Amino acid sequence: MNVHDRLFIGGSWEKPSDPALLDLVSPHDRSIVGRAAQARPADIDRALSAARTSFDKGTWRDTPPAHRTALLRRFDALRERDAEEIARLITLENGSPLWFTRAGQASLTLQANAYLKAAEDFAWEEAVTPSDAKSPVQGVILRVPVGVVAAVIPWNSPFSSATSKLLPALLAGNSVVLKVSPENSLSMNFLAGLLERTGLPEGVVSVLPADRDTSEYLVSHPEVDKIAFTGSTRAGRRIASIAGERLKRVSLELGGKSAAVVLPDADLGETVAGLKSAALLNNGESCVAQTRILAPRERYEEVVTALKELVESLTVGDPNDPGTYLGPLVSPGQQQRVRTYIRLGIEEGARLVTGGPQIPEGLEHGNYVTPTLFADVDNTMRVAREEIFGPVLVVIPYDDEDDAVRIANDSPYGLSGGVWSRDADHARAVARRLRTGTVTVNGAPFTFDGPFGGFKDSGIGREFGPAGLGTYTEFQTITH
C-alpha cells in the first residue's frame, strides 16, 4: 500500500500540520489503496512563504530562459521514463481505464514539447520600435514572471492538468504552489518526486493535496499574484470573484457540453468510430467530451442506431484490464450524480435507447454506471445543457445546417466541439461558425501548439502554446 505522510513544500518533504492521513479508496472495488497527508491552511502559509522568498531572491526568476527550459526538459525526460508507473497510479486512484492513462502519457510528451518550443521561441525581450522616425525614444519590452502562482487542478486528468500549469509557469520564471485533489494524492506525490529530482531551486514549487476549503484559503491569500484554475464553472465563478476583489491575475479552464455536429454527408462508420473516443474518453469524465450529438433529421434514426450499437459494444469493468474501455467513476458521489441525471433524462421525456440508471451486473462493488444513450432530446432539457461528466450521450435532431449551428451555439458553454463530414473544407467552414474555443474536424487530435480554452461559461484565458506561456508573464516597458 502507498503511504505518504509528508507534504512536498518548497522542494522538500515536510511534516504536515495535521498528522491524520486520508484513506485513498479504489473506484473499482472501494478497497483502501493508499493513505496520504492533506494540506491545511498552515501548510499553505509555509508553501507560499517559501514561494515568495524564492521569487524575491530571484534565484529562479533571474535564471536565463534557456537554462530554465533545459531544466524542465530534464523534468519531462524523468516523467517519460516513468510513464507506465504514472499511468497505473492514475488508473488505481481515478478508475480511468489503462488504455486512456497510457495514451495520456504520450499526449503529455506532445504537451511538454510544445511548451518547451514556445519557450525557446518566445520574445522574452524586444526593442521598442518608435512609430515616428524622428522620435528619440529608445527602449525595451520585457516579458517578466507574474510572481507567485496558485495553480488549482481537478481530479479527472491530474498529470495533464498539473503540467499544463506547472510547465508554463516555471518556464516563465514564477514560483508555484500546486493544489491538487485529495483523490489524486498518489499520482501527484509521484509528480512531486519527479520535481524533486529535477533540481529546481529551493522554494520554487510545492505540491499539496487539499480539500475545497483549503483551496479557497490558497486562492484568497495575499501572497498569491496569479490564480490558474481548472475545474467546474461553479467553482470558477467563485475564484473569479475572489480574483476580482483582490485584482489578482486569473485564468480559468472550466466546464463544457460539447456538440458533435454530424453533417448529412458524414461517413457514419467513421463518425461513430471517432465518437467512441471523442464522446467517451476517460469514462466520459472529460470537459471536452462531445456528448451532445446533433444529427440531421433525414438520417436521425440511422445515427441513433449506429450509436446504440457503439454504446452496447463497450467493455465496462476493471480499469486495470487493458481490454476494458470504460472503468468506474472516481467516487460514489460522482456515480450517484450520473445515475441521477439518467433518471432525469427519462423524467424529461427523452427516449432511453440503451443503458439506464441501473449499475452494471456484477460490478456493484465499485463506482460503475451503465453507459447510456438518449434520443429525441430537446436542447432545452437539462441532460442537453448541463455537464453530466459520465458516459451519457444525447442525440438531438436538426433541420438544416443553420439549425445545427444554432443548436450547437445554444449552450452556456463553449469549450470544445466537433464537425463530421466527408467534405473537410465544408466541415471547416461550419467549424468557423461554432462559438467554442476548439473545434475538431472528423476527430482530428488537439494541437498543443495552439491555444486551448473556452468561450462563455467555459472559462477565461488560454493554455498551451505561446498564448499559454504568455499568461504567466507581465509586460514591462523600459525607455531611455
| DSSP-derived 3-state class of residue 63 | coil
| DSSP-derived 3-state class of residue 12 | strand
Strands 392-398 and 292-296, bridge-based pairing: parallel
> Could you give the percent of the chain with pLDDT greater than 70?
100
Nearest to 395 by CA among 266, 296, 292: 292
- Domain check: are 70 and 121 in the same one? yes
CA 324 to chain centre: 23
pLDDT score at 138? 87
Grid coordinates of 253:
479552464
pLDDT in tens, 5-60: 999 999 999 999 999 999 999 999 999 999 999 999 999 999 999 999 999 999 99
- Domain check: are 6 and 118 in the same one? yes
CATH number at residue 301: 3.40.309.10
Nearest to 188 by CA among 197, 198, 179: 179
pLDDT in tens, 335-357: 999 999 999 999 999 999 999 99
pLDDT score at 134? 77
- Domain check: are 99 and 237 in the same one? yes
pLDDT score at 267? 97
| Cβ pair 259, 407 in contact under 8 A | yes
| Cβ pair 420, 442 in contact under 8 A | yes
- Domain check: are 169 and 236 in the same one? yes
pLDDT score at 480? 87
- Domain check: are 122 and 193 in the same one? yes
- Cite the active site residues: 253, 287
- Domain check: are 140 and 211 in the same one? yes
- Domain check: are 294 and 423 in the same one? yes
Segments forming the whole domain that contains residue 388 = 259-448
In sequence order, what are the beta bridge partners of 205?
A: 176
- Domain check: are 227 and 266 in the same one? no
Nearest to 239 by CA among 253, 247, 229, 254: 229
pLDDT score at 129? 83
- Rounded CA separation 445/283 (Å): 18
Taking phi first (over 0 means left), then psi (-120 to 50 degrees means alpha), and beta for anything else, what does residue 36 get?
beta
- HSE of 238 in the Cβ direction (CA atoms, 13 Å)? 14
- Rounded CA separation 286/446 (Å): 14
- Rounded CA separation 87/104 (Å): 8
pLDDT score at 165? 98
- HSE of 164 in the Cβ direction (CA atoms, 13 Å)? 27
Q: Which amino acid is at 354?
A: T
- Rounded CA separation 346/368 (Å): 19
- Rounded CA separation 218/220 (Å): 5
What 213-217 contacts at long range (C-beta under 8 Å, 24+ apart), as own/partner pairs, is 214/38, 214/39, 214/40, 214/41, 214/44, 214/179, 215/152, 215/179, 216/242, 217/41, 217/44
| DSSP-derived 3-state class of residue 52 | helix
- Domain check: are 347 and 462 in the same one? no
Query: Hey, which bits of 399-458 come out as E strands?
Result: 417-420, 440-441
Return the DSSP state at 316: B
Number of domain units in the chain: 2
H/E segment holding residue 250: strand 249-253
| Residue partners of 222: CB distance under 8 A and separation at least 6 | 246
- Rounded CA separation 119/347 (Å): 52
- Domain check: are 283 and 219 in the same one? no
CATH number at residue 210: 3.40.605.10
Report the residue count for the chain: 480
- Rounded CA separation 443/37 (Å): 41
- Rounded CA separation 455/96 (Å): 27
- HSE of 213 in the Cβ direction (CA atoms, 13 Å)? 5
Grid coordinates of 57:
531572491
- Domain check: are 334 and 434 in the same one? yes
- Domain check: are 246 and 128 in the same one? yes
Average pLDDT of each block of 10 consecutive residues along the chain (480 residues)?
Answer: 95 98 98 98 98 97 97 97 97 97 96 97 92 81 98 96 98 98 98 97 98 97 98 96 96 98 98 97 97 98 98 98 97 98 98 98 97 98 98 98 98 98 98 98 95 97 96 95
How far apart, in Å, are the Cα atoms of 262 and each of 187, 372, 417, 429? 37, 19, 11, 14
- Rounded CA separation 16/43 (Å): 7
